[in-house]
C-alpha cells in the first residue's frame, strides 16, 4: 500500500492498526434497526438541512441588500415581504427592478422553507403525543 505525505494522519493509523475492517457501521444492517434509525434521525436530518437552507437564503438576501447599501433589513421577520416593497437605497432611489424581483423570489423561497420546517416540527410533536411511553425507548432496549 502506497502512503504519501498527503495521506491524512487518521487514515495512516487505520492502515497500520492491523484491523481488517477498521470502519464498521454503528448498527447491524437488520430491518428493525434501520427502521428505528430512520424514525429517530430522519426527520431531524431533514430539519437540519432545511434550517441550513433558511440561513443560506437569508444570508444571500442580506448580501444582495448590502451591495445596494441597505444593512438594516431582517429577511426572517414575518412582515419582511411587505417591508421589502418600501425599501430604498441610501441615496433615496428605489431598488433596481431586477434586484427587487430577485429578493421577492428569495422571500418566497424563505417562506416555503419555513413552512416545511414548521410541518416537520408539528409532525414530530404529533408523533410524540400519540406514542405512549409504556416501555423503554427502542434505542435503550437495543443498547441493554
Q: Render 36-87 in DSSP notation, one character per residue.
A: HHHHHHHHHHHHHHHHHHHHHHHHHHHHHHHHTT-----TTSTTHHHHHHT-
* Helix, strand or coil, per DSSP, at residue 92: coil
Q: Is residue 122 part of a domain?
A: yes
Residues in Cβ contact with 134 at an 8 Å cutoff, skipping those fewer than 6 apart: none
Q: Is residue 94 part of a domain?
A: yes
Query: What does the pLDDT read at residue 124?
Result: 85
Give the number of domains in the chain: 1
Pairwise CA distance, residues 131 & 137, whole Å? 11
Whole-number percent of the chain with pLDDT over 70:
60
Q: Is residue 139 part of a domain?
A: no
Residues 78-134 pLDDT 10s: 999 999 989 999 999 999 999 999 999 999 999 999 999 999 999 888 887 776 666
Q: Is residue 20 part of a domain?
A: no
Q: Is residue 142 part of a domain?
A: no
Cell numbers for 28: 447491524
Q: Is residue 89 part of a domain?
A: yes
Residues 87-96 pLDDT 10s: 999 999 999 9
Neighbours of 47 (CB within 10 A): 16
Eight-state DSSP code of residue 13: H
| Range of the structural domain that residue 45 is part of | 29-130
Q: Is residue 105 part of a domain?
A: yes
Question: What average pLDDT is seen over the chain?
Answer: 78
Between 53 and 85, residue with greater pLDDT: 53
Q: Is residue 93 part of a domain?
A: yes
Amino acid at each position: 500500500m502506497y502512503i504519501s505525505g498527503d495521506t491524512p494522519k487518521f487514515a495512516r493509523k487505520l492502515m497500520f492498526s492491523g484491523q481488517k475492517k477498521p470502519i464498521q457501521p454503528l448498527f447491524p444492517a437488520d430491518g428493525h434497526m434501520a427502521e428505528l434509525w430512520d424514525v429517530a434521525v430522519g426527520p431531524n436530518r431533514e430539519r437540519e438541512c432545511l434550517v441550513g437552507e433558511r440561513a443560506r437564503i437569508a444570508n444571500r438576501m442580506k448580501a444582495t441588500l448590502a451591495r445596494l447599501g441597505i444593512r438594516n433589513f431582517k429577511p426572517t421577520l414575518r412582515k419582511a415581504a411587505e417591508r421589502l416593497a418600501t425599501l430604498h437605497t441610501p441615496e433615496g432611489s428605489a431598488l433596481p427592478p431586477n434586484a427587487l424581483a430577485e429578493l421577492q423570489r428569495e422571500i418566497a423561497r424563505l417562506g416555503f422553507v419555513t413552512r416545511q420546517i414548521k410541518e416537520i416540527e408539528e409532525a414530530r410533536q404529533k408523533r410524540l403525543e400519540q406514542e405512549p411511553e409504556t416501555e423503554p425507548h427502542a434505542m435503550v432496549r437495543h443498547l441493554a
